[in-house]
């Protein structure tokens, strides 16, 4: 499962190596004779002698290896009946004769080996790859290695190989050489290596192209998510697209060859592999319109966290793998089994999604994800079981379906490409839907703003004997606060201020209803309490579980104030709250009754009305503005604009509306001002 790409790469490179002209002996005969050297290179096909175990004496030419088993360099020691064996093994090849062109510098090209190895010529170490125990280190993807060869005549070429413990998903055929070494002059061997790398680049050409496409999609979707952090779909699409690129870089399936140690390679591969699967879960959740199901969303989150932790833990085992005992292998088996089991989770999402009314693009995603996951599960299960059952389902799944110009396409490749394209198309359709929905919301918001512009007074009527200031600042484009100052024919003035639950067009429409009722009741000379009683009966059943808080007062020229309150914050007189009886908000209980109180304002008194957005301003540390700051603020008798700016500077969290009424001396001229972003900055009267 988790090393499928690595095994495929090694197998492909080995096949390419065997097909190269030098490997076939095109430049000279194959076998174990040096006499052809000087005319190119030779393939050291053997026969090789092989023995399990480790003994430094086995590198010496004097050692008698007649009892050793004969083994082909094209077959691993696992293929030669040493199933499920790891540790040390030695290869020996008796080279005969002398090069036809003595004095020409020679080189040896070693194909990928499982896992670390050392090469000896007549008992002297001449090169290798990685580091052998007791402190083993080897590469995640073993490279071809070119080694200077000092031989000028007959001798013993020995390769000391160490194979790390097998993973739960490793086949039992791993271990030792995976291809035929090449010996020749340095130029010829370098040409063989270049030819092999060129063939490899051609083999993975379509993967290079896919990497560029995946990377572009990841970048674009990441930018779209950064522009709108609420659009989680683009975040998961970015992760879904970038993880295959990261996995390919780790496995050297890229134009940029990265030789990375096994510990870091597998340590990063496991969580990336799991993250790729988890990102598909969330893509299915959003694209199949299942994100509204809170239980399913919560289950997906929990399962994702646990699976990512299992992948990270499984990857972390790689840092101790070289010296791992059976305990490490058991841990790998447990983590890997869990990761394979949760691979069925997309089937649950797909099954639930198919119950929805989906458009064609989402149906395509569901079907392609079903096929891709089915192939992945069969392949992973086959890889996990082949060492114990000797079934070859994994090899069947990864057999090329067809080949185009030496580029192979397996079922997994085709299913992955189809799924990726289906996801892209579905995300494109999703984006178009979101844009259409956003356009509708913007039109709705524009309509709400137009309504609110009509409802917020452009200027305040003069109140003889009073200085009136007002300020309004919504937290969003359209808020639910309202205030009205309505002059009555009797010379009195109705002042109303309140807060409608909700935002947007719905709140604006409710405010328009409230303002209309208020104006009709003021014409009928209703008292503030009567206004609230009638407003409540009018609003009940129309608020869709919402409500309205409001305070209404009638103010006459002598400074006499009649005030009624419906669940709103009490007004503040000279920095101190008025004491009011408790009352319900409007729109909740039709039988609710509202009382009123009277007070008189004297010269210099300031009565301040405000909504809870002023009290509930919140700073960066999460601290509320609070009553203490509120009382201190109004004790200084600020204008409405000054009070609003103080709350905004502290940290606005909701709509803010402030209205102040200050009693003037007989010789002072009445004035009024209004500040709102919906109108001009200020209007004086």
CA dist 665 and 602 (Å) reads 9
Q: Tell me: the pLDDT tens digits for 15-60?
A: 334 434 333 333 444 456 777 676 678 889 888 999 989 999 999 9
Cβ burial of 223 (10 Å; 0-12, 13-18, 19+) is exposed
Q: What is the pLDDT of residue 12?
A: 42
| CA dihedral over 495, 501, 503, 504, signed as positive or negative | negative
CA dist 352 and 359 (Å) reads 15
Tokens of 190: 């370098």
CA dist 670 and 183 (Å) reads 106
The per-residue DSSP string of 267-290 comes to HHHHHHHHHHHHHHHHHHHHHTT-
Q: What is the pLDDT of residue 316?
A: 94
Neighbours of 619 (CB within 10 A): 12
CA dist 81 and 231 (Å) reads 55
Which residue do the tokens 């484009």 mark?
477
Q: Tell me: the pLDDT tens digits for 212-228?
A: 888 888 898 888 889 88
The per-residue DSSP string of 223-254 comes to HHHHH-TT-HHHHHHHHHHHHHHHHHHHTT-S
Which residue do the tokens 């598909």 mark?
280
Q: What is the pLDDT of residue 508?
A: 66
**Domains detected in the chain:** 4-200 (2.60.120.260), 358-455 (no CATH), 456-675 (3.60.40.10)
Q: How many helices (H) and strands (E) does the chain have?
A: 16, 25
Buried b / exposed e over 470-502, threshold 16 CB at 10 Å, is bbbbbbeebbbbbbbbbeeeeebbbbbbbbbbb
CA dist 477 and 491 (Å) reads 35
Which DSSP category does 151 fall into? Answer: -
Q: What is the pLDDT of residue 29?
A: 43
* Alpha-helical runs (H) found in 390-468: 393-397, 411-455
Closest residue by Cα to residue 482 from 493, 498, 506: 498
Which residue do the tokens 């694209």 mark?
287
Q: Tell me: the pLDDT tens digits for 629-656?
A: 888 999 889 998 899 989 888 888 778 8
Closest residue by Cα to residue 111 from 94, 85, 125, 91: 91
Which residues neighbour 286 within 8 Å (Cβ) at sequence distance 6 or greater?
232, 233, 236, 430
Residue 361 belongs to what H/E stretch? Answer: helix 360-389
Which residue do the tokens 């390919």 mark?
248
pLDDT below 70 — which residues of the chain? Answer: 1-32, 36, 38-39, 78-84, 100, 198-206, 252-258, 324-326, 385-396, 405-407, 440-459, 476-479, 502-508, 523-524, 677-685
What φ, ψ does residue 185 adopt, rounded to 5°?
-65, 155
Distance of CA 179 to the CA centre of its chain: 41
| HEC secondary structure over 651-662 | HCCCCEEEEEEE
Q: What is the pLDDT of residue 681?
A: 40
Which residue do the tokens 């709250």 mark?
577
Q: Is 168 in contact with 337 (CB distance < 8 Å)?
A: yes
Which residue do the tokens 């990375």 mark?
260
Residue 220 belongs to what H/E stretch? Answer: helix 205-227
């Amino acid at each position: 499962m988790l090393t499928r790409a690595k095994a495929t790469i090694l197998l492909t490179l080995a096949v390419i190596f065997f097909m190269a002209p030098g490997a076939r002996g095109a430049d000279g005969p194959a076998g174990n004779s040096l006499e052809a050297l000087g005319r190119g290179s030779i393939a050291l096909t053997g026969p090789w002698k092989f023995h399990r175990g480790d003994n430094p004496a086995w590198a010496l030419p004097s050692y008698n290896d007649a009892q050793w088993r004969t083994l082909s360099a094209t077959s691993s020691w696992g293929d030669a009946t040493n199933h499920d064996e790891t540790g040390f093994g030695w290869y020996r090849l008796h080279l005969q004769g002398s090069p036809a062109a003595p004095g020409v510098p020679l080189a040896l090209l070693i194909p990928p080996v499982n896992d670390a190895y050392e090469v000896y010529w007549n008992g002297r170490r001449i090169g290798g790859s990685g580091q052998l125990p007791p402190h083993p280190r080897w590469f995640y993807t073993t490279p071809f290695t070119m080694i200077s060869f000092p031989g000028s005549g007959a001798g013993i070429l020995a390769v000391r190989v160490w194979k790390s413990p097998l993973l739960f998903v490793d086949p039992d055929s791993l271990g030792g050489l995976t291809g035929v070494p090449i010996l020749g002059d340095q130029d010829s061997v370098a040409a063989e290596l270049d030819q092999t790398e060129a063939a490899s680049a051609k083999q993975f050409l379509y993967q290079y192209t896919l990497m560029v496409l995946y990377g572009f999609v990841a970048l674009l979707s990441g930018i779209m998510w950064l522009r709108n952090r609420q659009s989680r779909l683009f975040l998961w699409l970015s992760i879904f697209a970038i993880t295959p690129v990261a996995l390919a870089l780790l496995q050297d399936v890229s134009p940029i060859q990265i030789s990375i140690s096994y510990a870091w390679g597998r340590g990063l591969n496991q969580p990336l592999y799991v993250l790729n699967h988890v990102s598909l879960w969330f893509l299915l959740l959003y694209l199949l319109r299942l994100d509204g199901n809170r239980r399913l969303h919560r289950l997906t989150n929990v399962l994702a966290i646990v699976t990512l932790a299992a992948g990270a833990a499984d990857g972390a085992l790689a840092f101790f793998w070289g010296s791992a005992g059976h305990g490490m292998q058991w841990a790998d088996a447990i983590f890997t089994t869990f990761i394979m089991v949760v691979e069925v989770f997309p089937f649950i999402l797909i099954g639930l999604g198919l119950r929805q009314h989906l458009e064609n693009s989402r149906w395509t995603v569901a079907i392609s994800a079903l096929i891709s996951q089915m192939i992945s599960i069969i392949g992973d299960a086959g890889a996990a079981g082949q060492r114990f059952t000797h079934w070859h389902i994994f090899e069947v799944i990864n057999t090329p379906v067809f080949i185009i110009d030496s580029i192979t396409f397996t079922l997994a490749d085709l299913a992955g490409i189809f799924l990726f394209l289906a996801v892209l198309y579905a995300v494109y359709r999703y984006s178009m839907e979101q844009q259409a929905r956003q356009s509708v919301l913007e039109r709705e918001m524009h309509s709400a703003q137009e309504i609110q512009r009509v409802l917020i007074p452009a200027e305040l009527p003069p109140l003889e004997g009073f200085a009136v200031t007002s300020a309004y600042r919504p937290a969003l484009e359209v808020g639910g606060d309202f205030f009205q100052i309505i002059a009555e024919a009797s010379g009195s003035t109705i002042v109303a201020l309140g807060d409608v639950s909700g935002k947007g067009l719905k709140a604006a429409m409710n405010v328009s209803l409230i303002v209309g009722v208020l104006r009709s009741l003021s014409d009928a000379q209703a008292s503030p309490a009567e206004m609230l009683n009638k407003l409540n009966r009018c609003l009940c059943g129309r608020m869709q579980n919402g409500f309205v808080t409001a305070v209404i007062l009638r103010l006459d020229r002598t400074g006499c104030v009649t005030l009624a309150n419906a669940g709103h914050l009490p007004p503040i007189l000279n920095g101190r709250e008025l004491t009011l009886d408790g009352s319900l908000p409007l729109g909740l209980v039709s039988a609710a009754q509202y009382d009123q109180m009277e007070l008189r304002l004297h010269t210099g008194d300031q009565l301040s009305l405000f909504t809870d957005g002023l009290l509930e301003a919140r700073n960066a540390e999460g601290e509320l503005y609070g009553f203490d700051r509120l009382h201190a603020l109004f004790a200084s008798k600020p204008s409405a604009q000054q009070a609003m700016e103080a709350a905004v500077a502290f940290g606005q969290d909701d709509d803010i509306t402030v209205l102040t009424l200050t009693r003037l001396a007989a010789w002072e001229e009445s004035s009024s001002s209004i500040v709102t972003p919906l109108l001009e900055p200020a209007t004086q009267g």
